[in-house]
Every structure is written in structure tokens, then in C-alpha cells.
Chain A
């Protein structure tokens, strides 16, 4: 893993490794590939608390995260994500 990360790669990686059915990756680095904000929707988070969920993501993406400067994550199960959309009307 020496190449610079881009959003598309990261989306693919997250979908595969975390069995995510929805992933949003926002590249906040202005192209240098060092800062990402991600939303991950996956049912592997069901019944897990926040700390555990974040650890699952951190472990799955440990190589990627170690290369970048800033990584911020929001994780939901499918049900929680539907609830979020209902509450905040985001798509």
C-alpha cells in the first residue's frame, strides 16, 4: 500500500471488508488523500456499542488509516440509517 488513497478505492475497500451496504466517503484533503470523512452502513454493527463499532472499522482499515492524517467515521446499521434519514432528511 504505497499509492495515495482516493475516495473510490476507500469506498470499495469498506464495502468489501465491512460488508457495508451503503458507504459515503468524503475526501476532505483537497486531493492529497490524507483526510477522509466516512459514513458506513452495515449490519455487522448490530448489537455493538459505539466503541466496538469504531474499533471494527479501525481494525478493518488499519493499513489505510495509518497512512492518512485525518479519519472521521460515522457508523450505522441499516435500521439506524433509515431512522437517520427519516429524522434529518438526508439521502
Chain B
């Protein structure tokens, strides 16, 4: 299992480098991670210190949308090479960041950006009940 805290990913002991397919253990850990919060982002770095422009842009967009931190979990793929490779295979998606909402793959930075522009992203987040309630936001 990956994170004990929301933002940290614990390493998994793995038998060898250059593993072509992810292990059952990694797959299980990713499945758990994906469903660990309504909104889950696999990123490079942390929300406080993104390590890549695409991850940074994505975090900013989620912030602008008003995602409730209590409903959000981020996993730093740079802390775990199994996760870094495994998540690409798991999602069948070659790049990081990757966004999941309600355990469903939404897309990477390009898709999130265009969904933010079209208003689709707020619909998806609202449907997942993942936004900060408006009264609270104003305080």
C-alpha cells in the first residue's frame, strides 16, 4: 500500500530494476491509491512544491476550481519508481500528472486544462462532491 499520509508514498520492496510489467502488489497499491480520495492526483513533486511545470499547472487548476483539500490526495511519483512506471501502465497513459475523480481516470494536464476552460472540469468535480462548499469559501 502506498501512502500512510496523504502526500507521501512509501516505497515498495521490489525484486529487480527494469521490471517490464507491474507486480500484483503494485497494482493493488495503485488501486488503493486511486480510491483513497474523491480527487486523486499522481504528480511529480508535492502540491506545495511541484517538480514539473505540468504538475504545477494541474495543481493550480484544481486550486482554482476550489477542490476541497479534505477530498484530495496527491501522490508523488518521484518518490517511488514502481509507482512512476506502474501508474503509466495502470492508466494506459504515458505521462504524469494523471488525475482520477471518483476512481475514474480523467486525463493528463492537456485534458484537464481544456476541461477547465470548457467548464467540464467543474461539472465533474461538483458531481463528485469534491468542491469546497460556497459559504465556506467566502469566509
Contact = CB atoms under 8 A, between A and B. Distances in A.
A58 B54 contact: no
Interface residues of A, number: 13
Contact of A74 (B54, B94, B95, B110): B110
Given A50-B115, A70-B54, A62 B110 contact: no
Interface string A39-62: 000000000001100110010001
Contacts of A50: 107, 111, 114-115
Contacts of A72: 54, 109-110
Nearest to A53: B111
Interface residues of B, number: 15
Contacts, number: 31
A55 B110 contact: no
A29 B124 CA distance: 33
B94 A73 contact: no
A47 B109 CA distance: 22
27 contacts: A50-B107, A50-B111, A50-B114, A50-B115, A51-B105, A51-B106, A51-B107, A54-B107, A54-B108, A54-B110, A55-B92, A55-B93, A58-B93, A58-B94, A62-B94, A65-B94, A66-B94, A70-B53, A70-B54, A70-B95, A71-B94, A71-B95, A72-B54, A72-B109, A72-B110, A74-B110, A74-B114
Interface of A: 50-51, 54-55, 58, 62, 65-66, 70-74
Interface of B: 53-54, 92-95, 105-111, 114-115
